[in-house]
Chain A
Amino acid sequence: MKLENIKYVFLSFCAMTVLASCNNDDDFTPPMAMATCNDGMMNGDETGVDCGGSCTPCEDGMAPMMPDFSGTYTQIDFMGRPGINTVLSADDETKNAHNRAIPSEMGAMFQAGFQARLEAYHDVYANLLGANPDDVNYEPNILGLDAATLTGYLAADVLEVAPDLPTTYFNPGTDNDMDGRILVPDGDEVALTGRTPQDDVIDISLILLFGGMEGDRFSGQDTDMDGTPDLPRLTSDGVGLTADVSTTFPYLGAPE
């Protein structure tokens, strides 16, 4: 790192903190004291009161040095929405590629593969149910999104958070305008506005992937009324929050 940079880093750090004085242990030789170096104020380019900058270096131990943050840092892991890479990337190679991608390129890179993966999940159950996989395809979900649209939306893997609205990851039971439709985007429902630790993101994801237009397509129904469920239970994993969370900062519970 160049000396100029080090100096600038150092100065910016000292400027941001309220410090009586700063420590400078480089090979810097103090120049002639300037007029402001004896006025009892931190002014000019001083980094402490009458010291640092072009004045005498501040005393050792009075303030931390800015640590070294130099270097180039390169992306190795990525996350937007929970579970996207896990659930929709088909293999290890794709998962690794996803973690090194940027959102603006993700749609082109991953949408088709995500859609194929989504259809493959439905095929698994078609086969288990003894049905023709061609007959058990993804149907538009509770948000009215078809497979291509949904996977395109999810492929650009970002978590959205609204600055001026309540945080709702998705509430499949909300019908705020009482129009009989559950969260169809007709303009007055609030959803997809963030994610809290309490949100059941797996159940929500499962509903969007397997729930169909009503949100309960594969929820373990007994369609032939023989007392045994003949559809798989895919819209809820059956677990809720077990960790401690708080309503105050830092919101997450102390480690166990």
Chain B
Amino acid sequence: MKKTKLLMGLGALAFVSAILVAADHIDAPDSMGTTADIADFYAFEPSEGSDNTVFAVDLQSNVLPDLAYGTFDENVLTEINIDTNGDLVEDLVIQAIPRDGKMYFFGPVAPAATGISGQVMVDSPLGSVDISSHVAIVETTPDGVSLFAGPRQDAFFFDFFQFNAVIGGMAPGGFKPAGDPNSTDDDDTTAVDTFDGANTMSIVIEIPNTMLGETTATNALGLNVYKTWVTTNAKQ
């Protein structure tokens, strides 16, 4: 080949990297690589029939070189927004903000103001947890809320560079076929999880649904859901 193909591939990669390092994990120039960069957001029932809901927010990611990863920023407020009536406006917020080695949580509470600016809802403390290092430190509040904050593996998986090649018109065959996930043979013919081995700074909260209340919001199939999203907010 192979040399020509390889060189072409590398050339394309460099080109694509230059124009498209704006991925979702790393999705926009203004937030990419900052301590406020949201890497991912999960919301799920921890086990079937559970009366709890889990929210997991990943901040930062070292998926690519030079991206910030490693500490929470005390000037960054992470906010989980919950809409319970389907108008796409937050009815409840759960906030997390670090101070001196601890992550403090507030809510769930109606925010003093909706929209892009707000304050820490200090009158509605939920609890706090020591920020973990390698081993997870978990706190459970008297209300049955579990709290965690610290570095974790980035669970997201995506052949991100091939995606860039696809949308750049440089991969007429599309995505690559799955390879043996345990193979170390990196021959560029099978798909690769760009996020394999990456870490993030994670905030995880498991909370009884009773604290979130009933919801009348519905999804596209007409099922009752909380409509949720996460934001990071910088102190002005």
Contact = CB atoms under 8 A, between A and B. Distances in A.
A249 B118 contact: no
Given A159-B228, A245-B155, A232 B174 contact: yes
A125 B151 CA distance: 40
Contacts of B232: 75-77
A192 B173 CA distance: 30
Interface in A132-158: 143, 145, 153, 156-158
B56 interface: yes
Given A185-B221, A243-B155, A99 B45 contact: no
A227 interface: no
Interface in A158-182: 158-167
B8 interface: no
Contacts of A254: 134-136, 152-153
Given A74-B236, A96-B30, A242-B181, A247 B104 contact: no
A189 interface: yes
A71 B119 contact: yes
Contacts of A237: 158-159, 162-163, 175-176, 191
A250 B138 contact: yes
A167 B235 CA distance: 34
A234 interface: yes
B229 A157 contact: yes
Contact of B193 (A13, A166, A239): A239
Contacts of B54: 249, 251
A193 B136 contact: no
Interface residues of A, number: 97
B229 A159 contact: yes
Nearest to B45: A167
Nearest to A103: B88
Nearest to A218: B174
A51 interface: no
Contacts of A92: 22, 28-29
Contact of A156 (B42, B88, B236): B88
Nearest to A117: B167
Contacts of B204: 249-252
A113 interface: no
Given A163-B53, A185-B220, A238 B175 contact: yes
Interface string B22-54: 111101111100101110111111111000011
Contact of A124 (B29, B153, B167, B226): B167
Instruction: State the main secondary structure of chain B at its contact with A.
Output: loop
B23 A86 contact: yes
B185 interface: no
B109 interface: no
A30 interface: no
B100 interface: yes
B97 A161 contact: no
A40 interface: no
Contacts of A89: 27-28
A128 interface: yes
Contacts of A70: 119-120
Given A77-B38, A162-B45, A86 B230 contact: no
17 contacts: A76-B231, A83-B24, A85-B27, A87-B163, A103-B83, A103-B227, A153-B220, A160-B227, A192-B219, A193-B45, A194-B42, A194-B43, A234-B174, A236-B175, A237-B158, A238-B191, A240-B157
Given A72-B235, A220-B177, 11 more contacts: A71-B236, A73-B236, A128-B172, A143-B220, A190-B221, A191-B219, A195-B41, A237-B191, A238-B175, A238-B176, A239-B178
Interface of B: 22-25, 27-31, 34, 36-38, 40-48, 53-54, 56, 58, 77, 83, 87-89, 97, 99-100, 104, 114-120, 122-123, 125, 127, 134-136, 138, 146, 148, 151-159, 162-163, 166-167, 169, 171-179, 181, 190-193, 195-197, 199, 202, 204, 206, 209, 212, 215, 217, 219-236
Q: Which 6 A-B pairs have the closest CB atoms?
A: A238-B191, A86-B24, A232-B174, A95-B28, A73-B233, A233-B174
